[in-house]
């Protein structure tokens, strides 16, 4: 039986939408020739006796179950990152507990990858008075994560962006952190479209005109500590900047694409450069949380040499991703959790800090259409029922 429901269209009117009803392809034994991490969202306890704008209470069973689902598809988990609403409601103590539980769960999954966000978010930017304050904050989180046996993702710091006076301040902080890291780390360059507080990161001021200078500073830090840098994730939503930086990386440092607009072509690579790491990007992406089956199937096809299938499966997801990550980009987490709810991975559409309210009903209707067109509904009937229930709360039934 054909599935259809009423959705708001681009004119603001209501129109009947007929679903394709095609479920995603699932690869039973995924094998990749890229290192792939999906940043993972968290599931809240919607009936906890808290003030949801001020406090967070996680549904630990559902949160860890989603990580087990990602591992079953061959994807690594980038834990306690911005996709998990780090810096948008998820505090450091809860983040550390999340990291601990994920690392424990990963022990039961052969080959499971986990890398964990290490930042300075327990230090309010306005309380940071010096670079030394930032260093101490990083060291506190590093020590806690490494004590658990975790691999570090050194997250960009709002406090550092506030107190740094020049590129030399960034060089000092990262030299200190990288020189004492137990194992190689992933650096994290998050553009100000994801977090306005990170404008001018690496000490060259805000605006696209300074990106090249910022890149020079970041590459200088990487070259000075190449043995301690597994890779760098950049989320600038500018494929040309990523490619330019990728071609300048020293061996064996990887480029982990964080470009949720152009990931398909960046992962596929262009064959230009003296090494594979310069020719292609690995991945550390928030969108892979929402499109996990397609990502797994496409990456398995790429590893098998079937680039046609890789693009056929992954390219239709790009329009969805660009919609989910549209400005204000920092609200993309709403779309990620919405997809998890539609696909039956959680029983509700509630988020830390009440962030489910950051996107309009029109936005969610278009997300539903694009997800269907990309064959991402694992249970189309369930997705339809849940979308109908949402529409009814807005008086459309």
The answer to whether position 16 is within a domain reads no
Residue 387 belongs to some domain of the structure: no
- Quote the CA–CA distance of 249 and 231 in Å, as a whole number: 9
Burial (0-12, 13-18, 19+ Cβ within 10 Å), 80? buried
Q: Is the pTM of this model over 0.85?
A: yes
User: CB count, 10 Å around CB of 179?
Assistant: 10
Strands (E), 212-344: 229-235, 254-257, 282-285
CA distance 14 to 7: 6
Boundaries of domain holding 290 = 30-314
Give the Cα separation of 336 and 68 in Å (integer). 17
- Whether 177 is covered by a domain: the verdict is yes
Contact between residue 86 and residue 155 where contact means Cβ atoms under 8 Å apart = yes
CA dihedral 128, 130, 134, 136 (to 10 degrees): -110
Count up the domains in the chain and report the number.
Answer: 1
CB 342 within 8 A of CB 377: yes
For 236, residues 6+ apart whose C-beta sits below 8 A from its C-beta are: 189, 191, 193, 211, 242, 258, 259
pLDDT tens over the chain, length 397 residues: 579 999 999 888 999 999 998 889 888 899 999 999 999 999 999 999 999 888 889 999 999 999 999 999 999 999 999 999 998 999 999 999 999 999 999 999 999 999 999 999 999 999 999 999 999 999 999 999 999 999 999 999 999 999 999 999 999 999 999 999 999 999 999 999 999 999 999 998 765 558 999 999 999 999 999 999 999 999 999 999 999 999 999 999 999 999 999 999 999 999 999 999 999 999 999 999 999 999 999 999 999 999 999 999 999 999 999 999 999 999 999 999 999 999 999 999 999 999 999 999 999 999 999 999 999 999 999 999 999 999 999 999 8
How many CA atoms lie within 13 Å of 240's alpha carbon, on the beta-carbon side? Answer: 3
In the 8-state DSSP scheme, what is residue 381? H
pLDDT at 206: 61
CA distance 98 to 79: 8
CA distances from residue 241 to 195, 216, 253, 327, 364 in whole angstroms, order as listed? 18, 12, 17, 19, 30
Q: Could you tell me whether strands 14-18 and 4-8 are parallel, antiparallel, or unpaired per DSSP bridges?
A: antiparallel
Sign for the CA dihedral angle at 214, 220, 221, 222 comes to positive
Q: Which pLDDT score, from 0 to 100, does residue 21 have? A: 84
pLDDT of residue 56: 86
Angle at 234 between CA 375 and CA 229, to 5 degrees: 120
HEC letters along 41-57: CCCECCCCCCCCCCCCC
Q: With respect to residue 196, please indicate whether it lies within any of the assigned structural domains.
A: yes
Tokens representing 81 are 């990152």
Q: What's 24's DSSP letter?
A: P
d(CA 297, CA 51): 40
Judge contact between 36 and 283, C-beta under 8 A.
yes
The answer to whether the CB of 272 falls within 8 A of the CB of 278 is: yes
- On whether residue 2 sits in a domain, the answer given is no
Measure the CA–CA gap between 250 and 254, rounded to whole angstroms: 9
Q: Are strands 254-257 and 282-285 parallel, antiparallel or unpaired?
A: parallel
Establish if 358 belongs to a structural domain: no
Q: What is the spatial distance between Cα 316 and Cα 365, in angstroms, rounded to a whole number? A: 17
Of the candidates 294, 333, 323, 287, the residue with the CA atom closest to the CA atom of residue 310: 294
- The answer to whether residues 187 and 222 touch, using CB atoms and an 8 Å cutoff, is yes
Report the Cα–Cα distance between both ends of the chain, in Å, rounded.
Answer: 19
Assess if residue 375 is contained within a domain. no
Query: Is residue 350 domain-resident?
Result: no
Peptide bond into 252 cis (omega under 30): yes
Q: Which of 228, 110, 122 is nearest to 175 (CA)?
A: 228
The size of the chain, in residues, is: 397
- Domain with residue 269: its CATH number is 3.20.20.70
CA dist 281 to 50, 161, 263, Å? 42, 27, 9
CA dist 300 and 368 (Å) reads 26
């Amino acid at each position: 039986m054909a599935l259809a429901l009423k959705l708001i269209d681009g004119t603001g009117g209501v129109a009947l939408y007929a679903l394709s009803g095609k479920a995603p392809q699932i690869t039973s034994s995924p094998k990749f020739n890229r290192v792939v991490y999906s940043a993972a969202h968290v599931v809240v306890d919607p009936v906890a006796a808290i003030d949801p704008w001020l406090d967070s209470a996680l549904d630990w069973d559902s949160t860890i179950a989603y990580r087990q689902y990602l591992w079953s598809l061959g994807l690594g988990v980038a834990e306690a990152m911005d996709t998990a609403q780090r810096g948008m409601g998820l505090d450091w103590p809860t983040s550390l507990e999340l990291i601990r539980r994920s690392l424990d769960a990963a022990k039961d999954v052969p080959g499971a990858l986990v890398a964990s966000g290490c930042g300075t978010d327990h230090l309010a930017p306005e309380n940071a008075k010096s670079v030394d304050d930032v260093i101490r904050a990083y060291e506190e989180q590093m020590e806690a994560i490494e004590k658990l046996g975790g691999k570090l993702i050194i997250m960009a710091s709002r406090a550092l962006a506030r107190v740094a006076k020049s590129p030399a301040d960034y060089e000092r902080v990262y030299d200190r952190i990288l020189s004492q890291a137990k194992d190689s780390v992933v650096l994290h360059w998050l553009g100000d479209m994801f977090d306005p507080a990170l404008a001018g990161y690496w000490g060259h001021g805000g605006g696209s005109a300074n990106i090249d200078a910022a890149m020079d500073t970041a590459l200088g830090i990487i070259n000075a500590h190449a043995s301690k840098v597994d890779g760098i994730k950049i989320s600038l939503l500018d494929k040309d900047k990523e490619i330019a930086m990728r071609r300048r990386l020293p061996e064996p440092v990887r480029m982990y694409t964080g470009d949720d607009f152009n990931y398909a072509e960046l992962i596929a690579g262009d064959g230009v450069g003296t090494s594979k790491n310069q020719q292609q990007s690995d991945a550390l992406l928030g969108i892979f949380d929402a499109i996990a089956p397609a990502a797994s199937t496409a990456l398995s096809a790429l590893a098998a040499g079937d680039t046609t299938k890789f693009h056929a499966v992954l390219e239709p997801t790009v329009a969805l991703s660009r919609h989910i990550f549209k400005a204000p980009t920092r609200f993309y987490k709403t779309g990620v959790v919405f997809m998890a709810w539609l696909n039956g991975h959680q029983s509700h559409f509630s988020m830390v800090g009440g962030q489910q309210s950051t996107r309009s009903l029109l936005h969610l209707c278009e997300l539903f259409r694009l997800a269907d067109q990309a064959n991402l509904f694992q249970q189309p009937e369930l997705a339809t029922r849940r979308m109908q229930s949402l529409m009814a709360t807005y008086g459309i039934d």
